[in-house]
Every structure is written in structure tokens, then in C-alpha cells.
Structure 1
Amino acid sequence: MATDANPTRITGKVQGRDITLAGPLSKDEIRDRVWWWQVPDPKTSKEREDRLHEYDNSQEDVIATLGGYYEVSGDSRTPEADQLVELVYAELNPDE
């Protein structure tokens, strides 16, 4: 299996944290990384610290894709969240 030297990358600013998604990723991996603060039962102290951080919600949470900027909803299970996951998945996995 060949590896792509230049994997597709998508960036965002979510809950005050810069995130980078590099393909390929599964839909569950995308959802976990975009809505990282909702991960149940954090296993490490870093994960617990991340989930409990103070967040100034004065800035929008956005993911920047080739098609533009998309707002990240607060709930990872809304129809809008599903659409964002589908969009990001399609961009990170163009061969599927």
C-alpha cells in the first residue's frame, strides 16, 4: 500500500483549540476529533484537562475545508454535525 506524501489536511478552531485533520480518517475519528470535548470517560489527565478547560465562546467554532468555512455545532449528533462529518470525510478520503 502506497502512502500519500501530501495527505489532505483540514484545519479548524474548535473550543478555542486549533485542530488539524489529516486523511484518511473514518467518520467516527472525524467526529471524535472535531467534538473532542464530548469524548466520554477521558482516560488520561490531559483528556480530562482538555474537557474541563474554560472556553470563551465569543468566537465561532469553524472547520476550514476546500469549500469554505463551516460552523461546528455544539452537539455532535445534530443533522448539521452529520453533514459536516460527511463533507470532511469526502475531502479526506477522495478515493472512496
Structure 2
Amino acid sequence: MTDEANSARITGKVQGRDIVLDGRLSEDEIRDRVWWWRAPRPASGDQEDHGHEYDSSRRDVIATLGGYYEVPGDPGTPEGGELLEMLYAELNPDG
């Protein structure tokens, strides 16, 4: 119970969708939630996510303990990789 109470919680708004990252998540789980429109299948089973194209006119932001970070459109870029590593480290402080 104390793990749940002390677990990190990261929020954001990405491509018009509110996202929440909490608890211990793998890098794949983080990637699928942050870059949800790139995920091979929607996590919630919603069919509306299929066919979503990245809209670069929106500012996608993640709020962490360290501040606000812009989410790049592609997790495969160096910026996307750095953001993914930082989110993973914050959600999994014990490694």
C-alpha cells in the first residue's frame, strides 16, 4: 500500500488526449501511452484511435517533478528517447 501512495504520477496532454502515467511502467508501456496514436493497438479497445495522424500544430506537454517537457511527434528521435528515459527513471526510481 505504501508503494502505491508514494508512486510517481506524471500527467500530460498529448494530441488532445489527457494521459496519466503512474506506478511502475516499462519503457514499452510508457511509449504506448505517451505516443498513443503510434501504438499497434489502442490500450482501451477504442477503435477511434486507428487512423489518427500526428498533428504538429498542437503543443504536446508532459508535466513531471522536474517541470514541463514538450513531447516530440516521434519516440524514435533523440529527443523522444531522452524523454522516454527520463519518464522511465522518474516512474521507476529504484531501477
Q: Give the structure-2-normalised TM-score.
A: 0.83
Instruction: Look up the equivalent residue of 2:20 and give its one-letter code.
Output: T
Residue aligning to 2:28: 28
Distance 1:86 1:57 in 2: 22
Match of 2:72 in 1: 73
Moved >6 Å (runs of 4+): none
Q: What is the rounded CA distance, in whole Å, between the counterparts of 1:42 and 1:20 in structure 2?
A: 15
Deviation at 1:77, TM superposition (A): 0.8
Unpaired runs of 5+ residues, structure 2, are none
Q: 1:90 to 1:44 in 2, by over 3 A?
A: closer
TM-score of the aligned structures, taking structure 1 as reference length: 0.82
1:55-96: CA deviation from partner (whole Å, max 9, x where unpaired): 865431011111111111111211111100100011001111
Q: Following the alignment from structure 1 to structure 2, what is the Cα–Cα distance between the partners of residues 14 and 86?
A: 18
Higher mean C-alpha deviation, range 3-12 or range 63-72: 3-12
Q: Does 1:89 align with 2:84?
A: no
Tell me, which stretches of 5 or more residues in structure 1 are unaligned? none
SS class of match (1:4)? helix
Structure 2 CA distance for aligned equivalents of residues 78 and 54 of structure 1: 17
Contact map agreement 2:14 2:71 (CA 8 A) in 1: yes
Identity %: 66
Q: 5 Å matches for 1:51-66? A: 51-52=50-51, 58-66=57-65
The one-letter amino acid paired with 2:33 is R
CA distance in 2, matches of 1:18, 1:49: 15
Task: Report the Cα offset of residue 23 of structure 1.
Answer: 1.9
Q: How many residues align?
A: 94
**Alignment root-mean-square deviation, CA:** 2.4
Alpha-carbon spacing, 1:56–1:66, altered in 2? closer, same or farther (3 Å): same
